[in-house]
Amino acid sequence: MLDHTLFLLLEGYAWLPERRREADGPVAHTRVMGQRAAGLCGPDAVRFFYDENHIERHTALPGLVKSTLFGHGAVHTLDGADHRVRKAMFVSVLNGDGIDDLVEHTTRAWDEAAASWAGGRSVTLFDEAARILARGVSRWAGIPLDDAEVPGLAADLVAMVDGFATVGPRHWRARAARGRREEWLGRLVRQVREGAVTAPEGSALAAVAHHRDADGELLDPRVAAVELLNVIRPTTAVAWFVAFSAHALHRWPQHRAALRGGDVSFAEAFTHEVRRFYPFAPFVGGRAVKDLTWKGEHIPAGSLVLLDIYGQNHDPQLWPDPYTFDPRRFVGREIGPYDLIPQGGGDTAGGHRCPGEAITVALLRALVVRLAQLDYDVPAQDMDISLRRVPARPASGFVISSVMSAV
């Protein structure tokens, strides 16, 4: 069978949906990175994929992704008891009362930045949002950071996300950024343990520095740094969704009034539609732990199994008119664990589903309302979102000018 790695790199988000369309049955059998791979999609596939008796992670993630996006030794790469104990730390830090504090830190950073956008100059919303989020999440996480250090940190966190699915210069930028930031945060963790730096009680810094793994040991400082980055990097990545939200408000301005008017349930529905509609993670992957059968088709032990996130979020059986941006589809809709999967599916505590989903929704909801409360011009620019580029984003980063508060 032909190895499809090159097609994957060239076709981006369309690659797996295309392989599934070409397949005779419910499984797209293909080869990537020299390995057999099986592509699946749909709520039943989510149940199947997130069953630990079927799929493991530690042998599945390519080095390219570990060296850029997640880090070596990250929670993403663990299975079984090791995963559960490490995941519990994330779930406790990232859910509950802490979310309001994070939103508070971040909206304050937005308000300060937005005040500086007035006066006719142009700003690139993606870059601004990344800096705002990096500042908000670092303060919240208890990581000491001067204002002057924020732009460099934001650029490094963005680079780590931007470079995970490519082999060119973006990849090398991501590796360099990761190396720099793991060293910085590893040093900080050591200082906290030695008592030279105080980590605020209940902060992510304190939780990671003092966390004990399933073997009862503290994390190696480098792994602790990896996991701190696994809090501040994806939070900063909400900038992608802020840029997509601006794009949506530009294309479908009829949604601005409801957001501006503070309709909370509409704002929440808008964030879900942004997460469903716009491309971010194309798929998630694991490895078959034994010979498996999926809807009558054989998946040999050791195959890669890929769950088609982009495909499922645009499946017309789940989302009528999937290529229409319509936040109202989420108003009054109960979201199940297996249908909307931009951040993975299944159970958060027991499986690999993203523990930052509540944070993502809370931050985005607060920021899109603030964005809608601004008046601004959108100068001519290339705001194309290429589905060949992973991760996708409006090419221009979404430039706005003549910014004024409308409230």
Give whichever of 76 and 272 is closer to ligand HEM, judged by the CB atom: 76
Contact criterion met (CB below 8 Å) for 55 and 305: yes
**Chain centre to alpha carbon of residue 327:** 20
Task: Assess 129 for contact with ligand HEM (CB under 6 A).
Answer: no
d(CA 284, CA 343): 9
Mask for 53-92, x = binds ligand HEM (CB under 6 A): ----------------------xx----------x--x--
Q: Site for ligand HEM (CB under 6 A): how many residues?
A: 25
- Residue from 228, 231, 259, 305 in contact with ligand HEM (CB under 6 A): 231
Give whichever of 229 and 403 is closer to ligand HEM, judged by the CB atom: 229
Stretch that binds ligand HEM, among 21-29, 120-128, 211-219, 232-240 (CB under 6 A): 232-240
Stretch that binds ligand HEM, among 31-39, 208-216, 234-242, 332-340 (CB under 6 A): 234-242
- Residue from 32, 281, 299, 306 in contact with ligand HEM (CB under 6 A): 281
Contact criterion met (CB below 8 Å) for 289 and 21: no
Contact criterion met (CB below 8 Å) for 334 and 326: no
Strand 123-124, strand 283-288: pairing = unpaired
Give whichever of 28 and 238 is closer to ligand HEM, judged by the CB atom: 238
Q: How far is the CB of 266 from ligand HEM (least distance, A)?
A: 20
Give whichever of 13 and 376 is closer to ligand HEM, judged by the CB atom: 13
Distances (CA, A) of 338 to 47, 289, 319: 7, 22, 13
Task: Assess 342 for contact with ligand HEM (CB under 6 A).
Answer: yes
Strand order in 374-377's β-sheet? 123-124, 399-405, 374-377
Extract long-range pairs of 54-60: CB within 8 Å, 24+ residues apart.
Answer: 54/288, 54/289, 54/290, 54/292, 54/305, 55/286, 55/287, 55/288, 55/289, 55/305, 56/286, 56/287, 56/289, 57/83, 57/286, 57/287, 57/352, 59/287, 60/285, 60/286, 60/287, 60/304
d(CA 371, CA 72): 36
Q: Is 114 exposed, middle or buried (0-12, 13-18, 19+ CB in 10 A)?
A: buried
DSSP code at position 405: E
Q: How far is the CB of 259 from ligand HEM (least distance, A)?
A: 19
DSSP code at position 79: -
Distances (CA, A) of 118 to 121, 258, 371, 374: 7, 24, 13, 10
Stretch that binds ligand HEM, among 191-199, 212-220, 235-243, 378-386 (CB under 6 A): 235-243
Consult the annotation and say whether 41 binds a ligand: no
Residue with smallest beta-carbon separation from ligand HEM: 356
Task: Assess 344 for contact with ligand HEM (CB under 6 A).
Answer: yes
Nearest to 42 by CA among 343, 280, 308: 308
Q: How far is the CB of 257 from ligand HEM (least distance, A)?
A: 26
Stretch that binds ligand HEM, among 25-33, 258-266, 276-284, 372-380 (CB under 6 A): 276-284
Report the site for ligand HEM in 345-374 (rule: CB under 6 A): 352-356, 359-360
Stretch that binds ligand HEM, among 14-22, 25-33, 206-214, 279-287 (CB under 6 A): 279-287
Q: How far is the CB of 301 from ligand HEM (least distance, A)?
A: 20
Task: Kindly report the length of the chain.
Answer: 407
Report the site for ligand HEM in 251-270 (rule: CB under 6 A): none
Mask for 185-214, x = binds ligand HEM (CB under 6 A): ------------------------------
Nearest to 394 by CA among 251, 234, 236, 231: 251
Annotated binding site for heme: 354
Residues that bind ligand HEM in the complex, under the rule CB under 6 A: 75-76, 87, 90, 94, 230-231, 234-235, 237-238, 241, 280-281, 284, 342-344, 352-356, 359-360
Annotated binding site: 354
